[in-house]
Structure formats: structure tokens, C-alpha cells
């Protein structure tokens, strides 16, 4: 790990938010809100996949993730690192390389032919598996991936993401109820604070973003 990984969690959150703004991964548009696959409408959108094209920033954030996991879970907490299809795969590979551990990945659905596998790579019964993803919104997809790992008789009690929305109060409780601890480098609140500090967007847009973060479901018309 590089010395920068010894930063405090607060410093990591600010630097992560700054990095996401620097590479253009953060999009705010209150006039024309984004619509997600879930139907949720929002003036915010984040594209963590852009990180794979920025090697120095990518390396810094992966160092942060490993340092956070060592602090919060322990240096010998895992036997295997699993990426969630598809965005989590490159980040899982980078974390596995840093920890010197095997890497695997979990499909969203069985592939439908051949072995009809949902897990690729070698995962063995009893292994303690860390699931790595790019981000977490309400935690639903994480539960599905963890269920697949547990069906393979592995143990999965930790999920690590670069970015956590942190706008739905039930998310952490839902994950905790399933025996899962979520580790995240930054949230929308960190990005909003950094965007305000550097005046990256006009004040009206930032006010609209804060309104959304405080009441995210109010932006979605009833069906």
C-alpha cells in the first residue's frame, strides 16, 4: 500500500469525491432528471466505470479500498475476492492483486448454457469471500450476488464499493439484516460537499441536488 492509503476515512472520502469530479464521473442535471432502471428519477448520475481509464486515480482509490478493509475487517479477513458482473469485475481484480488473493466473479443470472454457471473462477465451500462492486444504491443487487455466493457454500459477510448513494435510510439496515457489512469510500454527501467547495456547479443545481438527497423518492412521479 502507498503512504496515501494511510489517510483518515474523512480524507479518503474527500479525495474520492474530488477524483470522481475530476474525471467527469459526476453528472448533475435538475432541469432534465435521469431515469434509472428501477424507475427512480434523479438530478444525479455517477459513472464509476470511467475510473478504469484513469490509472493513477484508479490506483489511489484501490489503495484506499484495501486500507479501509484492513482497518474495518482485518488483514486476514478474506480468502477470495469476487466481483459482481460487470462493473465490479475490474475493481475486484485490482483488490485481489493487492491482497494476494484468488479472484472470481458472480453473474447476474446463470449464463444459460454449458455448465449454466453463475459463479466463474474457483470458490470453495467455507471460503470467506469479499464482494466488490463499483457502487451501491439500495443494496438489492448486492443481496442477489451474496445469495449466489452463499448457495455455493461460501461465506460472504462484507461488500466493498467505491461509491454508496447513502440516501435510502433502510439500505444499511437491510444489508445488516442479511449479515452484510457495507464498506464504501464516498457518498453523494461527500460529492456534494466537494462540488460546493470547488463551485463545480451553479448554486441552484446544487440546491436541487441536496433536495433530492434529502427526499429522493419525491422526484419520482407515482405510477
**Following DSSP, what letter does each residue of the chain receive, concatenated?**
--GGGGS-HHHHHHHHHHHHHHTT-EEE-SSS-EE-TTS-EESEEE-GGGGGG-HHHHHHHHHHHHHHHHHHT-TT--SEEEEETTTHHHHHHHHHHHHT--EEEE-SS--SSTT--SEES---TT-EEEEEEEEESSSHHHHHHHHHHHHTT-EEEEEEEEEE----THHHHHHHHTT-EEEEEEEHHHHHHHHHHHT-S-HHHHHHHHHHHHSGGGGSPP-
Query: What domain range is 197 assigned to?
Result: 3-219
Residue 75 is predicted with a pLDDT of 94
Helices 55-72 and 88-99, axial angle in degrees (round to 10)? 60
| Contact present, 83 and 93 (Cβ < 8 Å) | yes
Q: What is the pLDDT of residues 159-199, one digit of tens each?
A: 999 999 999 989 999 999 999 999 999 999 999 999 999 99
The β-bridge partners of 88 are none
In this prediction, residues 68-76 reach a mean pLDDT of: 96
**For residues 116 and 178, what is the distance between their CA atoms, to the nearest angstrom?**
26
Residue 117 is predicted with a pLDDT of 77
| Contact present, 106 and 112 (Cβ < 8 Å) | no
Closest by CA position to 87, among listed 25, 161, 173? 161
Q: What is the pLDDT of residues 82-134, one digit of tens each?
A: 999 999 999 999 999 999 999 999 999 886 655 667 999 999 999 999 999 99
Q: Which residue has the cell 458472480?
A: 106
In the chain, how many domains are there?
Answer: 1
Residue 140 is predicted with a pLDDT of 87
Q: How confident is the model at residue 3 (pLDDT cuts 50, 70, 90)?
A: low
Residue 103 is predicted with a pLDDT of 98
Closest by CA position to 82, among listed 175, 185, 156, 139? 156
Residue 116 is predicted with a pLDDT of 61
Residue 222 is predicted with a pLDDT of 72
Looking up residue 165, the CATH number of its domain turns out to be 3.40.50.2020
First-last CA distance in the chain: 49
- Given a cut of 70, is residue 223 above it in pLDDT? no
* Residues whose CB is less than 8 angstroms from the CB of residue 111 and which lie 6 or more positions away in sequence, other chains included: 117, 118
- Given a cut of 60, is residue 27 above it in pLDDT? yes
100-103, long-range: CB < 8 A, 24+ apart: none
Burial 188-200 (b: 16+ CB within 10 A, else e): bbbbbebbeeeeb
Residue 40 is predicted with a pLDDT of 84
Q: Which residue has the cell 427512480?
A: 40
Amino acid at each position: 500500500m502507498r503512504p496515501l492509503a494511510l489517510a483518515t476515512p474523512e480524507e479518503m472520502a474527500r479525495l474520492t469525491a474530488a477524483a470522481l469530479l475530476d474525471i467527469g464521473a459526476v453528472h448533475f442535471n435538475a432541469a432534465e432528471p435521469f431515469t434509472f432502471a428501477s424507475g427512480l428519477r434523479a438530478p444525479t448520475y455517477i459513472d464509476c466505470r470511467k475510473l478504469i481509464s484513469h490509472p493513477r486515480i484508479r490506483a489511489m482509490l484501490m489503495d484506499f479500498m484495501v486500507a479501509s478493509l484492513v482497518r474495518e475487517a482485518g488483514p486476514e479477513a478474506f480468502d477470495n475476492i469476487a466481483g459482481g458482473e460487470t462493473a465490479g469485475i475490474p475493481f475486484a481484480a485490482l483488490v485481489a492483486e493487492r491482497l494476494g488473493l484468488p479472484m472470481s466473479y458472480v453473474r447476474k443470472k446463470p449464463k444459460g448454457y454449458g455448465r449454466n454457471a453463475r459463479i466463474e473462477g474457483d470458490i470453495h465451500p467455507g471460503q470467506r469471500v469479499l464482494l466488490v462492486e463499483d457502487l451501491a444504491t439500495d443494496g438489492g443487487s448486492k443481496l442477489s450476488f451474496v445469495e449466489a455466493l452463499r448457495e455455493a457454500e461460501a461465506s460472504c459477510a462484507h461488500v466493498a464499493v467505491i461509491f454508496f448513494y447513502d440516501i435510502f435510510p433502510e439500505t444499511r439496515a437491510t444489508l445488516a439484516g442479511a449479515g452484510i457489512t457495507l464498506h464504501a469510500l464516498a457518498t453523494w454527501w461527500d460529492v456534494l460537499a466537494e462540488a460546493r467547495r470547488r463551485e463545480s456547479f451553479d448554486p441552484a443545481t446544487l440546491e436541487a441536488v441536496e433536495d433530492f438527497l434529502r427526499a429522493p423518492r419525491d422526484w419520482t412521479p407515482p405510477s
